[in-house]
């Protein structure tokens, strides 16, 4: 979709793997804020100034990587309005959709668009699903739901890129998905939910004043904002030497490399004792840096 200098609309912050994939096409980025009131014309003017056109909006919709935030229904509807006015595609990244712990599920953007337009064939959304967060990332199996014209083109591009995904992996995924998928995901949700609750409690206990964090309803992440002037990358370098606590510095999730005073914590792999100890150490380190 992207030629050099074209504009991709992305969250600020957004998933760094998406930025990495898009960067190969040398785009310009502009900030997509579904609750903001920038018009399609405003985005188009900025894109023209950068030497191209707006091509798509990319969104991590449920329990986003990195913030853990979920786009509410009104925001999803607003993205469709904007995309219709701007005549651009919507890339809906639903990688964490199955991992909801509490709150009410919100229909995917693609479902809302189909409800408006009557058929998937009239839709501009590419819904991207993945088994990486629900079964195993190493299987490399995911799926896209979109209008058949788009799927046909993607099939050609995939053939050109890697011929096809591993057939054995697809057979295994199909077998698991059609037999033990639901109880497996239920177990994941229960485990991750307990870890999320534990992490939120540990943050409240251990973090000094001036540190803020998000409270996600699912997924794997909590997004932490440090006091202004503190830098997540510096903190990581110190932490790896003295405290041995790893996290992702937040700057990497911003298309313009801004907002260094942020970091992403993941609660998927650490058990409850590790979370307690890790937050105690991180809190201590942040306090000494203030």
Ligand X SMILES: Cc1ncc(COP(=O)(O)O)c(C=O)c1O
Using CB under 6 A, which of 10, 58, 59, 60 touches ligand X?
60
Which of 135/230 has CB closer to ligand X? 135
Residue 73 CB, nearest distance to ligand X (Å)?
Answer: 20
Which of 94/200 has CB closer to ligand X? 94
Residue 147 CB, nearest distance to ligand X (Å)?
Answer: 21
**283: helix, coil or strand?**
helix
Please give the Cα distance from 45 to 100 (Å, whole number).
38
Using CB under 6 A, which of 62, 93, 113, 217 touches ligand X?
93
Residue 157 CB, nearest distance to ligand X (Å)?
Answer: 16
Q: Is the peptide bond before 66 cis (omega within 30 degrees of 0)?
A: yes
Residue 140 CB, nearest distance to ligand X (Å)?
Answer: 7
Tokens 């188009």 correspond to 44
- Work out whether 17 is an interface residue with ligand X (CB under 6 A): yes
- Work out whether 206 is an interface residue with ligand X (CB under 6 A): no
Please give the Cα distance from 51 to 4 (Å, whole number).
9
Using CB under 6 A, which of 7, 65, 70, 262 touches ligand X?
65
- Work out whether 20 is an interface residue with ligand X (CB under 6 A): no
Which of 67/239 has CB closer to ligand X? 67
Residue 257 CA to its chain's centroid (Å)? 17
Using CB under 6 A, which of 132, 165, 169, 170 touches ligand X?
132
Q: Which string of DSSP letters, residue by residue, matches 73-92?
A: HHHHHHHHHHHHHHT-EEEE
Using CB under 6 A, which of 8, 13, 15, 52 touches ligand X?
15
Stretch that binds ligand X, among 130-138, 155-163, 175-183, 272-280 (CB under 6 A): 130-138
Please give the Cα distance from 110 to 125 (Å, whole number).
6
**110: helix, coil or strand?**
helix
Using CB under 6 A, which of 4, 103, 107, 137 touches ligand X?
137
Residue 16 CB, nearest distance to ligand X (Å)?
Answer: 9
# chain residues binding ligand X, by CB under 6 A: 10
Q: Which residues of 195-224 are buried (b: 16+ CB within 10 A; e: fewer)?
A: bbebbbebbeebbeeebebbebbbbbbbbb
- Work out whether 142 is an interface residue with ligand X (CB under 6 A): yes
Q: Which two tokens stand for residue 181?
A: 């998928």
Stretch that binds ligand X, among 37-45, 110-118, 129-137, 183-191 (CB under 6 A): 129-137
Residue 93 CB, nearest distance to ligand X (Å)?
Answer: 5
Residue 107 CB, nearest distance to ligand X (Å)?
Answer: 18
| Residue 216 · residue 63 · CB < 8 Å | yes
- Work out whether 95 is an interface residue with ligand X (CB under 6 A): yes
Please give the Cα distance from 154 to 142 (Å, whole number).
13
Q: Of 88, 93, 100, 75, whose CA–CA distance to 43 is shortest? A: 88
CA 276, 281, 282: angle at the middle one, nearest 5? 100
Interface contacts to ligand X, rule CB under 6 A: 15, 17, 60, 65, 93, 95, 130, 132, 137, 142
């Amino acid at each position: 979709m992207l030629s050099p200098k074209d504009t991709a609309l992305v969250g600020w912050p957004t998933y760094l793997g998406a930025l990495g994939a898009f960067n190969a096409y040398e785009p310009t980025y502009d900030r997509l804020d579904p609750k903001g009131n920038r018009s399609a014309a405003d985005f188009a003017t900025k894109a023209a100034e950068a030497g191209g056109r707006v091509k798509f909006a990319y969104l991590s919709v449920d329990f986003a990587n990195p913030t853990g935030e979920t786009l509410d229904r009104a925001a999803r509807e607003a993205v469709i309005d904007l995309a219709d006015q701007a005549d651009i595609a919507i890339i809906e990244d639903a990688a964490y959709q199955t991992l909801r712990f509490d709150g009410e599920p919100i229909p995917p953007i693609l479902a809302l668009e189909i409800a408006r337009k009557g058929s998937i064939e009239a839709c501009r959304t590419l819904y991207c699903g993945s088994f990486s967060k629900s079964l195993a990332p190493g299987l490399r199996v995911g799926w896209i739901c979109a209008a058949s014209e788009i799927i046909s083109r993607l099939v050609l591009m995939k053939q050109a890129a890697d011929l096809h995904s591993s057939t054995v992996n697809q057979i295994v995924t199909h077998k698991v998905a059609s037999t033990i998928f639901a109880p497996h995901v239920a177990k994941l949700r229960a485990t991750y939910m307990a870890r999320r609750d534990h992490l939120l409690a540990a943050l409240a206990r251990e973090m000094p004043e001036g540190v803020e964090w998000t409270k996600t309803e699912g997924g794997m992440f909590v997004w932490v904002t440090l006091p202004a002037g503190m830098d997540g990358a510096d903190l990581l370098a110190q932490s790896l030497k003295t405290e041995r606590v790893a996290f992702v510095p937040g700057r990497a999730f911003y298309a313009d490399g801004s907002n260094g005073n942020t970091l992403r914590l993941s609660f998927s792999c650490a058990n409850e004792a590790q979370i307690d100890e890790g937050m105690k150490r991180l809190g201590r380190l942040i306090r000494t840096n203030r």
